[in-house]
Amino acid sequence: MTVQMAIDLGRMAMIVGFKLIAPILIMSLVVGLAVAIFQAATSIQEMTLTFIPKIVVAAAVILVLMPWYVTIVVDFTRELFQIIQGF
C-alpha cells in the first residue's frame, strides 16, 4: 500500500462519514434554531428544552434515512474490498 492509497482511503472514509452525519446535524441545527426562536419569543429560558426535540429529530432522521445509510456504507465497503482484492 502506497502513501497515496492510504490518503485516498482516508479521504473516502471521511467523505462517507460526512455524508452520514450531515443530515442529522442539519436537522438538529434547524430544530435548535426553531426552539431558540420559540424560547426568545415566549421568554422561556429552560436549558433542557432544547435537548429533547434535538434527540427526537436525530432519531427520526436516522430511522427515515436508514436505507440510504446502509446503501452508502455497503457501497464503501464493496469499494474497499475491491481495493484490498487488487493487492
Identify the pLDDT of residue 60.
Answer: 96
Kindly state whether residue 75 falls inside one of the protein's structural domains. Answer: yes
In a domain, 7, yes or no: no
- The pLDDT tens digits of the residues spanning 39-64 come to 889 888 887 888 899 999 999 999 99
Q: Give tens-digit pLDDT for 3-13.
A: 988 899 999 99
pTM, two decimals, is 0.82
Tens digit of pLDDT for each residue in 12-25? 999 999 999 999 99
Residue at 5 is within a domain: no
For residue 52, is it within any domain?
yes
Structural domain for 63, as ranges = 15-85
The three-state (H, E, C) secondary structure of 14-70, written as one string: HHHHHHHHHHHHHHHHHHHHHHHHHHHHHCCCCHHHHHHHHHHHHHHHHHHHHHHHH
Number of domains in the chain: 1
